[in-house]
Amino acid sequence: MIFYFVRHGIAEDWAESGLDQDRRLTERGRKRIRQCAQALRLLEIKPDLIFSSPLPRAAETASIIAEALSTDPPVHKEQLQPDAANSDFIAECLNANCSSLMIVGHQPNLSEYVAQLAGYGSNLIFKKGTVCRVEMQGEHGQISWLLPPKVLIALADVRQAKQKNKH
């Protein structure tokens, strides 16, 4: 099984309501996530299922990615809210009937889930829009790559340029 962990895009500093849980993506955040999603599409990444935090900034990120990858809409999971990480959620994911799963959420949860699967400390750097791929080998996972948005966008630009040169 392959896991893709994605941190939500750049969000508002504060919501009109004053509640952190209501913060949405900024226009810059939506643009960068669209660019990252384009890179994922060009890398031919297409998860069978996308789980997302129900908070607007993560839900918007997951929806943008799902649309770009032509997958089913994301499934919102309460366990992906900030500071709600628990080991039962990963067990649920491992039992999902799929070969690849994308999880869109928040820090520190994402680092904790990767640490749980791959045995690393929970100090991974997940900038907003970062994608981490973990490949399961039996009961243990291995981090294949962790790409920040700048690298994803650069990959997409190079790939598109190569495709244009072929035509």
Q: How far apart are CA 154 and CA 163, in angstroms?
A: 14
DSSP-based three-state secondary structure for 123: coil
Pick from 3, 8, 28: nearest CA to 107: 8
Q: How far apart are CA 126 and CA 128, in angstroms?
A: 6
Contact 7, 65 (CB under 8 A): no
- Show binding-site residues for substrate: 57
Contact 93, 49 (CB under 8 A): no
- Show binding-site residues: 57
Q: Which residues pair with 131 in a beta bridge?
A: 6, 147
